Structure 1
C-alpha cells in the first residue's frame, strides 16, 4: 500500500514525541506498515525480526565502544580534560560549541571514526556544560552537524563513500556523473546545514539553561572515575596509547568492532583498569550504548518491512502520478518522499540506492539534468538522517549527552536537529534541483 510508509512514519514520530520508548515506537511503525500491506501480525513480526540482522555488526561495535569509553573514564584522564578546558575556555560557551562542531566534522573526513569519539569525549564534559549553563541542545546540534554536513559536501572519508554510493546508484539507472560533480551538486544543500548550525548556536540555544537536577538514579558510574588527579601519569599515557591504536585500526582497517576490542584489551593489558573490573566495564558500556544498538537493530527491521512489502516504490509511483511535468513540483514531492523514507529508516547511505532506482526514471522523463538528479537523490537521502529517532546522527549525540540521564533523545536531540537541518536542507536542496 502506497501510504503505508507515511502512516507508519507518523506512528513512529507521534509515539516518540509522546515520549514512548523509541524501540517500541519503531516496532509499532513496522507492524503498522506490515498490516497496511496485507501482512498478518505474525508475518509482520517475522519480517521485522528477519531484517534486524542488517545492523548487528554496527550494534556490537557500539556496545564495545561504550565499554572502551567507560574504561577510559576509569583512568582519570577525563578529569584532566575537563579541568584543562575550564582553564582555557572559562565562560566561552559559544567557542566550545564551535570547537565540538569542528571535532565532529573531522570524524567524517580527516579521521573517519564517525560517532566513535562521542562516548569518549562528551560524557566527561557534561559537568563542564552544567557549570557553564550551556544548553545541551546546542551541543546536540553541533555534533549532528559534524556527523552529517561534511559527508554531504566533501568527498573524503565517509563523504567519499556517500558520493560513490550516489554515483553507482545513478549509473545503475543510466546516469553517468563523476564524484566531484556530485559533490558540487550538494554544496548548496550543505550550505543550508551551515545556516542551520549558525541559527542554533547564535539564536535558538544561545541563552543559559539551568541543568536538570542530579539524582542518584540517573548518575552513571561512567561519569565517576576511580581517581581524580591533577597531573599526567603513566596510566594516562597508556590510555592515550589505547585511544591512538583504536583510531588507527578504525582508519586503516575500517572495522569498528576490532578497533574498540583492541582498545579495551589494551586498557586491561596496561592495567589502567584492573582485570577484576572487567564485568563492570562491560555492563556500564552496555548501559551507555546498549540503547543505541537496539534502536539501530529495530530500524533495520523496520526497513526490511518497507522493502519486502514494496511500500516505498508504491509511494513514489502514487506521488508522481498526479504532478505532471512541472519540475519544481516534482522536485518538491520527491524530496518530501525522501524525507519520509529516511525519517523511518534513519540511514542516508542505505536509502540512496532505493531512492535512486525510484527517482531517476521520473527525473529523466521530466527533463532534469544529471547534476539536478544528483542533488535530488543526495538531498533526499540525507533528509531525515538528522531528526530521525533511528539515525546514528542523532543516536550518537544522545548517547554522549544522556550519559547522566538528563538529556531526552526526542526533544533535546531529534526535534532541534530536525528543525535546524532538515528544513534548510529541504529548501536548499529544492533550489539546487531547480537551478542545476
Structure 2
C-alpha cells in the first residue's frame, strides 16, 4: 500500500476514534515512514526535522491565548454579552434569532476580511471569538455552525479572489506552477476558472446554515470559570481592551508577526493595570495552557508532513493515479481531485499541495484534452480540497482554538467532520463539473 494513503488513513481513523490528534499524527507518521522504507530511525529523524516548521505558529497561538485571557480579564466578553442581552429583551421571542444571524454575519465578514482587507489569516480568531463565546452560549448557537462559517471565510477568499492571500495562492502558486508544468496560462482569468468550485463552497455554507440552525445547549458555568466572569468592567477597561486589540492587529500587519502583536497587546494590558503585575504571570500561563493543544497539533502536523515528503510516495501516488486514468476525462478529473483531497488532508496545507500535484496533473490533463481554463480549475480545486476537514489544517485548528476555550467544542467531531462534510463533498462535485464544462 502507498505510504501516504496508509499514513493519512491511520491518522484519520484514530482521530475519529477519539484518539488525541497529536497521538494520531505521530502514529500515522511512523507507520507511513516504515511503509515508505525510511525505517524507524529515518522516520523519527524526518519527523523531528519537520517539527520546527510548526513552532512559530504554535508559539504565536500560545501568546494569543495569553492575550485572549487578558481580554477576558478586561470584562469585554461580559460587556458584549450585556449589550446583546439588553438588545434581546426578556420577552422578545424573535429578537434572539435576529441577533444570532447578526453575529454569524459578523464572524463571516471578519473571516473573509482576514484573507484580504486585513490579511492576518487565523490570528483574529483567538482575539475575537472568546469574547463572543459567552454570548454564543447564552443564545445556544451551535458552535459547529460557527466552525463552518469561519472555515468558509478562511478558505473561499483565497481560492477565488486574487487579492491578499488569494493573490499568493492563485497567481504566485497556482498559475505559476501550472505554467511551470507546461501549460500556457497567458490570458487565463483565474477567477473564471475558480468560480464554479467557489460556488461549491457557497453551497456548503448554505447547507451548514440549515444543518446547524437549531439551538444547542452548552454549560455556561464552564465558560464563566474560564473567562473569569466575576471581574468588573468599566469604560476604561473596555477602552484599554479596544486599544490593545487594535495595536495587536496593527503590529501583525506591520511586522507580519503574530508573536510580537500578541505580546504588545498583553503588555498594554499590564502597563494599564487592567492586568495587575502580580497577576500577569498566572494569566499568561493560563492563556498558554488554553492554546497548548492547538500548538502541539500544529507542531506534530509539520512533522507528519515532513515524513510524507521524505518517503517520496506523494509523487508515487500521483503517478499511480495518472496510470489509472486511461483516456477518460471524467475518471481523470475525479481521480486527480481525490488525490488532491488525500494529500492536502495529510499535509494540512493547500498552498503546499499545488506544487506537488501540478507537475504530474498538468501534463496528464493536457494529454486528456482539457482546456487551459479547466486545468487551472482542476489543479486549484485539487489543492484546496482537504483544507477544510483536515485535522492538521489551520482552517480547522483556528476555529477550534477560539471555540474550545471552555472545553465544550471537540476538534474532530465539532470542527473537522462538519467542515469535511459541508465543504469537501460539494467542492469535489463542483470541481469535477468545472473540469468537465470549462
Fold match by TM threshold 0.5? yes
What's the counterpart of residue 400 of structure 2? 398
Equivalence for 2:96: 91
> Residues 179 and 294 from structure 1, CA distance in 2 versus in 1: closer, same or farther, beyond 3 angstroms?
farther
Query: What is the CA distance between 1:214 and its match in structure 2?
Result: 6.1
1:228 paired with 2:232, answer yes
Structure 1 partner of 2:277: 275
Of stretches 39-48 and 167-176 in structure 1, the one that deviates more from structure 2 is: 167-176
1:208 aligns with 2:208: no
Q: Distance in 2 between matches of 1:421 and 1:352?
A: 18
Structure-2 separation of matches of 1:59 and 1:427: 34
In 2, the alpha carbon distance for the partners of 1:411 and 1:427 equals 23
TM-superposed deviation, 1:333: 0.2
1:152 aligns with 2:159: yes
**1:176 positional shift:** 4.2
Equivalent of 2:200 in 186, 189, 192? 192
CA distance in structure 1 between the aligned counterparts of 2:225 and 2:193, rounded to whole angstroms: 46
CA distance in 2, matches of 1:107, 1:65: 16
Structure 2: gaps spanning 5 or more residues: 89-94
* Cα shift readout 1:67-103 (whole Å, capped 9, x = no counterpart): 1111111111221122223334641223432332222
Deviates more, 1:253-262 or 1:344-353: 253-262
**C-alpha distance after superposition, 1:404-425 (max 9, x if no partner):** 0011111111111100000011
The match for 1:329 is 331
The question of whether the paired residues in 2 share the 8 Å contact of 1:167 and 1:176 is answered with no
Aligned residue runs from structure 1 range 94-109, under 5 A: 94-109=101-116
Could you tell me how far apart the structure 2 residues matched to 1:370 and 1:236 are? 53
The answer to whether the Cα contact below 8 Å between 2:78 and 2:134 also exists between their aligned partners in 1 is no
Count of residues in correspondence between the two structures: 429
Cα distance in 2 for residues equivalent to 1:30 and 1:264: 36
**TM-score of the superposition, structure 1-length normalised?**
0.93
Gap change, CA 1:236 and 1:208, over 3 Å in 2: closer
Seen in structure 2, the aligned counterparts of structure 1 residues 416 and 336 have a Cα distance that, compared at 3 Å, is same
Measured after TM superposition, the shift of residue 128 of structure 1 is: 2.0
Partner of 2:92: none
Q: Kindly tell me: are residues 314 and 77 of structure 1, through their superposed partners in 2, closer, same or farther at Cα, counting changes over 3 Å?
A: same
Query: Which residue number corresponds to residue 41 of structure 2?
Result: 42
2:431 to 422, 429, 432: 429
Contact 1:200 1:420 in 2 (8 A): yes
User: What corresponds to 2:367 in structure 1?
Assistant: 365
| Structure 1 gap ranges (5+) | none
